[in-house]
Structure 1
Amino acid sequence: MGNLYIKALHIIFVVTWFAGLFYMVRLLIYHTEAQVRPDAERKVLQEQYRIMLTRLWYGITWPSAVLTLVFGLSTLFSGNWHLIVFRPEGRWLLIKLVLVLLLYGYHFSLQYLYKTQLRGKFQYSSQQLRVWNEVATIFLVAIVMLVVVKTGLSLVWALGGLLVFVIVLMSAIRIYKNIRSGK
């Protein structure tokens, strides 16, 4: 019974972590777009975005990432999942853990973007940040599919489906850009 509570807490913090990751990049986009505003408006917007970014990053996103890890590892070991990671029936879990490690790499990339923007350096356009925002979506889809479907998921079908999903996402970003620019 206790394992179920730990697993539930893990899922709750995964959800809040992803919410933070998704909204963080949106705020970075808005912060970047504020650069082209008239001086008075830009200063007000950027100060507000700095406050919002900091509260989101350190109040929600980082704590959720840490608690996701704590409850995830607790679930892994209390449920004895660690015993099957390197067995054929645990291949899905091994792939999931690799994806989770890459997701933490994505998290650290946002830490870098956050710190860079707070220093007043805007290295990426809002369009580039929109594309980067979808990386979290790709991780979310891949990880959830692995967890739900597990061994019934053929690697070839999974990669093919993920590729189609990425193409659809990138097409949607392109269409949105064209709509915004009036084309």
Structure 2
Amino acid sequence: MPFPYEYLKSLHIIFVVSWFAGLFYLPRLFIYHTEANDKPEPAREILLAEYRRNEKLLFNAIMIPAMWLTLLSATWMLYLFPYWLQQSWMHLKLLFVAGVIGYHFYCRKLLLELRENRFRHSSPQLRLWNEVATILLFAIVFLVVLKNALDWIYGVAGIIAFAVLLMTAVRMVKRLRERKKENGR
């Protein structure tokens, strides 16, 4: 392997981590933003303004540069090792990366809607949306590490099981919160 590859791969991983940090945190801010809409004034307006500011800063200052640096470093690695593009695991990985990019831009759409005080999604819906990035990350990491079709099938089965467990946990937490509210706690 060429000498700069190890540095390039290290930078790529750092950029991916930075991008995913934003992809994990932005939907969490959307949840808080949506829940702040139910607060009484003046707290409501103060919180909404703060969430709008934080969401914009996170997206523009961290997520966009991290996404472009991730894609640039990945493209550079594919330039160094073009034979990767002939391997089926890379095709699948690129499909999942396209999913991450789609997730990124759908988050931007939600950000713009919330900025205009359009609350289309409930807090529980946003909690489920928040888990999509986790599932995509699992898929990509398993593909990159395993690179084997049979192992990938086990990985996909694990991802599906993980997704079901996450959704079940979110529903259980929601039910517990509702019970606490009903009991006046």
TM-score normalised by structure 2 residue count: 0.92
1:27 aligns to what SS in structure 2? helix
Residue 154 (structure 1) shift: 3.2
Q: Distance in 1 between matches of 2:61 and 2:152?
A: 37
Residue 182 (structure 1) shift: 2.1
CA contact (8 A) 2:89 2:149 kept: no
Q: Of the candidates 149, 172, 179, which is equivalent to residue 182 of structure 1?
A: 179
Q: Of the candidates 7, 18, 21, which is equivalent to residue 19 of structure 1?
A: 21
Is residue 2:145 matched to residue 1:151? no
Is residue 2:80 matched to residue 1:83? no
Letter in 2 for 1:157: Y
Residue 155 (structure 1) shift: 4.1
**After the TM superposition, which residues 66-105 of structure 1 pair with which residues of structure 2 at under 5 Å, given as runs?**
66-78=68-80, 80=81, 82-86=82-86, 90-105=87-102
Q: Of the candidates 21, 42, 45, which is equivalent to residue 44 of structure 2?
A: 42
CA contact (8 A) 1:134 1:169 kept: yes
Q: Distance in 2 between matches of 1:152 and 1:25?
A: 32
**After the TM superposition, which residues 117-136 of structure 1 pair with which residues of structure 2 at under 5 Å, given as runs?**
117-136=114-133
**After the TM superposition, which residues 44-63 of structure 1 pair with which residues of structure 2 at under 5 Å, given as runs?**
44-63=46-65
Residue 91 (structure 1) shift: 1.1
CA contact (8 A) 1:146 1:153 kept: no
Q: Of the candidates 84, 109, 115, which is equivalent to residue 112 of structure 1?
A: 109
Residue 156 (structure 1) shift: 3.1
Question: Counterpart in 2 of 1:165?
Answer: 162
Which runs of no fewer than 5 residues in structure 1 stay unpaired?
none
Q: Distance in 1 between matches of 2:179 and 2:108?
A: 33
Superposed CA deviations along residues 95-136 of structure 1, whole A, max 9, x for unmatched, are: 001100111011110010001110110110011000001000
Letter in 2 for 1:83: Y
Q: Distance in 1 between matches of 2:97 and 2:149?
A: 20
Residue 159 (structure 1) shift: 2.4
Letter in 2 for 1:107: H
Q: Distance in 2 between matches of 1:130 and 1:96?
A: 25
CA contact (8 A) 1:17 1:64 kept: yes
Question: Counterpart in 1 of 2:8?
Answer: 6
Residue 94 (structure 1) shift: 1.1
Q: Distance in 2 between matches of 1:178 and 1:55?
A: 33
Residue 77 (structure 1) shift: 1.2
Residue identity over aligned pairs, in percent, reads 43
Letter in 1 for 2:85: V
Letter in 2 for 1:134: E
2:119 aligns to what SS in structure 1? coil
1:145 aligns to what SS in structure 2? helix
Question: Counterpart in 2 of 1:31?
Answer: 33
Question: Counterpart in 2 of 1:141?
Answer: 138
